Amino acid sequence: MGCVDYLSSCFGLEGKVAVVTGGTGVLGGAMARALAGAGARVAVLGRRLWTGEEVAAGIEAAGGCALALAADVTDWSSLEAARETVVARWGAVHLLINAAGGNLPGGSLEPDQDLFDLSLEAFRAALELNLLGALRSTLLFGPAIADAGGGAVVNVSSMAADRPLTRVAGYGAAKAALENLTRWLAVELGRRHDGRIRVNAVAPGFFVGNQNRGLLVGPDGSPTERGRAVLAHTPVGRFGEPDEIGAAVVWLCSRGASFVNGAVVPVDGGYSAFGGV
């Protein structure tokens, strides 16, 4: 077998249908493009349909196959409608990427706030989006994956899950719970579906996205004080590039990771390995 054949056999996703929730975000969009580049047909889900259409159009322009759908992971009916559309269009779902999520302003403390100023409602909303959103999507798309003969689910965690970040409360707690849920789903689905459905997660390090741009870089593109602190604890000395997380997701979805189940893969430039000394 030649090198090209080997790579295609292990990491190609031809014939697969992938659903990416949060596909309108910087990282979610990169994951959608990477999956399409590996040969999958990709449904880009997000609350902002026009942004999803831009992502899908970019995939189509590059020779891929994509569909944009409006869906909110906190709303069961919108996800259900999206699932029906995808199955009607492409006949199956094989891969689910739970990339929808993010930090909510009220779920974090401002620099001048005390811990006791934390909003319980905002904390609950962070759990709803980041934890229950992933579970809700898995409950809805999982049966379609089973009906297709199996596939993979990839959740998107965060460095905040394992190492609490200052000021970030609800988001970190939700991602920590998501990692536990990832392992639980991997065990249950693996046992009950003869190993045909795998569940893993990626834990991105620090990537500059729409939500955290102002925290990490200034208007001139140079790192802020918080950004410099992050880089000082990232051995490779830079922020991540979106396609670097996309490549990890393709691997977890591919035959090359067929014996990887219940893992949380850091894509963080060594941040989680560094003790700070």
Distance CA 147, CA 216 (A): 43
Handedness of CA 235, 241, 247, 253 (dihedral sign): positive
Residue-wise burial string across 188-225, b where 16 or more C-beta atoms lie within 10 A, e elsewhere: ebbeebeeebbbbbbbbbbbbbeebeebbbeeeeebee
171 tagged catalytic: yes
54: exposed, middle or buried (C-beta count within 10 Å: 0-12, 13-18, 19+)?
A: middle
Q: Per the residue annotation, which of 141, 171, 251, 271 is the catalytic one?
A: 171
Distance CA 89, CA 86 (A): 5
Strands (E), the chain: 17-21, 41-46, 65-70, 95-98, 151-156, 197-204, 264-267
Positions marked active-site: 171
